[in-house]
Amino acid sequence: MHIKMERQSQITQIKDVNNFFILLVKNLCICVICVICGFKCFFTSLGFTSSDSFANDLGSKPIWEISTQETSLARIVLKIAQESYPEIDIEQYIEKLNTIIKNIKTILNDEREPEKIIKTMNSVLFKELKFQYVQAGGLEYISLHKVLDTRIGNCEGLSILYLCIAEELHLPIYGVSVPEHIFVRYDDGDFRKNIEIGYEGMATPDSYYVNMPGKRISQMSIKKGYYLKNLTMDEVIANIYLNRSIIQKEQGNIENALKDVNRAIELHKNDAVAYCNRGVIYEKTGNVEHAIYDYNKSIDLNPDYAPAYYNRGSLYASMEKLEKAIIDYSMAVSLDPNSILSYYNRGIAFKMVGRVDLSIEDLSKVISLDHTFAVAYAHRGLAYAESGESEKAMADFNKALEIDPNHAETYMKRGILHADLQHFDDAIKDLTTFIQCVPNNAFAYYIRAKAYRGKGEIEKSMADYDRVIELNPRMAGVYYERGQIKNQLEKSREALMDFSTSLELFPYNPLAYLHRGNTFKKLGEMKNALRDYSVYLKLNPNAPDAEEIKREIEEIKTNL
């Protein structure tokens, strides 16, 4: 299941820099619960009934009798699929399913030994009919009719198929959920065996699922029956709604995504994953209070579920509650030591609270886990630059652009470092590349203007200052600097206007008074010059040139 670790960081761009969750699925049997494509849903049309299991007591009916009268799991899931595929002929697929069931029934004959029953079902489905597992989301991999047509399904799709067959054969086989995964279990009270359909029915003990990195299950959650229990029919159906909600969210169908996840929670009230995903949806709608509530609820239900801490931390980061964000990222890292994004975001948060050393440490950990994570190099380069390690910073910026030569922001960062090192040609080149990608970034023009000025290309510098002011006319410092350049170009009256505008926006810059005073003096407006020199000394009485300015004042007074 795709949980919301979909942003790189809430604090660099970073609302929905959103752009990815790196799921490290390293264990053989655990798969990502499949994501279903979004489609319109009508909850009231299904008429679900609650049930404690799929299997009836073995003595209540002939063991292989196929019931066609009562509402079955197969009919329910086909009705759900029909909302997206209206052309489905439900009876056709019921018949197709019944053909498989009759085949298994014939082979089993009167067999009642659980191991042999499981072996027969696995053999028919995976050896004879060659149903295949795929670790991917998508409606086609979870919808029963598609699974029957293509004989390809993910963990959800193949589990539903298995459960539909077991229900009609009145076998004590149940769905079982763990965070981000579903499998099935044979459990008649005396014999119990987990069946991993993703791997052709391979058996796995409960303990296998407890400590999966990032998907751990707390002992409290197990004792309270939130996970690793036999699911009711409603709870199995809840997984379908949850998956459909996730894919609708990814497609931007937020309203329908919220409806589906609400339905999932209504049917399965103790699923931490569902609350975590609903928190993501609320966050996307700007409902921060509800998002925090759902992340908290997810953590209450399963205190060992790392994505809930990551998501809450990212939300705190977007709210500039960086200390809380760091605590949550740290918890996510402790639960999932390979969580690249948790280290990455915590590294950025550390830098923002002034702990550049810890930022470098976290970003180095990210790079050790993923040598191709370009933006991690870029942010570590920025941290090195802030700590005065220019060579390391430059090496990281170069590496980031080697990996991803189209990442505009890295050109910006490297350009700033070049400018700081007075490598003006390199700075201009990088900033020009950035501006070609992001043409309306005032700060980029500002840094390039300073680089041109440092290089002595005054006209080009002026053009960039003009562009900065066009994009952001409220930057006092830019008017001050442009005024200096206008003085260099012998445009004294225009320089006066810039210094005056700068002081209107920020009347506490002593240097603006000094330069305006010098300009007034140059134009022969001595009273105005005297006034500005006096304010300069009042604001900056210990200026290095204070004595010189005092003499200038006395000279002006003498000549007035």
pLDDT tier, 4 (very low <50, low <70, confident <90, very high otherwise): low
User: Which of 478-505 are b and which e, b meaning 16 or more Cβ less than 10 Å from the residue's Cβ?
Assistant: bbbbbbbbbbeeeebebbbbbbebbbeb
Q: pLDDT value at position 65?
A: 34
pLDDT of residue 63 exceeding 70, the answer is no
Least-confidence region, from 238-252, 459-473, 485-499, 543-557? 238-252
pLDDT of residue 27 exceeding 80, the answer is no
Mean pLDDT of all residues in 295-303:
98
Least-confidence region, from 45-59, 155-169, 366-380? 45-59
pLDDT of residue 5 exceeding 90, the answer is no
Cα 106-108-114 angle, rounded to 5 deg: 155
pLDDT tier, 32 (very low <50, low <70, confident <90, very high otherwise): very low
Q: pLDDT value at position 44?
A: 25
pLDDT of residue 9 exceeding 90, the answer is no
pLDDT of residue 353 exceeding 80, the answer is yes
- The torsion angles phi and psi of 464, rounded to 5 degrees, stand at -70, -40
Cα dihedral 267, 269, 270, 276 sign: positive
Q: pLDDT value at position 136?
A: 83
What percent of the chain lies above the pLDDT cut of 90? 82
**Domain coordinates of the chain in residue numbers?**
1-20+205-332, 59-171
Residue 356 CB partners (closer than 8 Å, separation 6+): 350, 383, 386, 387
Cα dihedral 24, 26, 28, 29 sign: negative
pLDDT tier, 84 (very low <50, low <70, confident <90, very high otherwise): confident
Q: pLDDT value at position 434?
A: 98
pLDDT tier, 408 (very low <50, low <70, confident <90, very high otherwise): very high
Mean pLDDT of all residues in 46-56:
31
Mean pLDDT of all residues in 211-225:
93
Q: pLDDT value at position 69?
A: 41
Contact 230/246 with Cβ under 8 angstroms?
no
Prior bond of 14 cis (ω within 30°)? yes
> What would the pLDDT profile of 144-181 be if each residue is shown by its tens digit?
999 999 999 999 999 999 999 999 999 999 999 999 99
Mean pLDDT of all residues in 474-478:
96
Average pLDDT, the chain: 88
pLDDT of residue 484 exceeding 70, the answer is yes
Q: pLDDT value at position 316?
A: 98
pLDDT of residue 40 exceeding 80, the answer is no
Strand partners, 193: 186
Homologous superfamily, domain 1-20+205-332: Tetratricopeptide repeat domain (1.25.40.10)
pLDDT of residue 355 exceeding 50, the answer is yes
Q: pLDDT value at position 521?
A: 96
Residue 182 CB partners (closer than 8 Å, separation 6+): 33, 155, 156, 159, 175, 176, 236, 239
Q: pLDDT value at position 373?
A: 97
Q: pLDDT value at position 138?
A: 83
pLDDT of residue 495 exceeding 80, the answer is yes
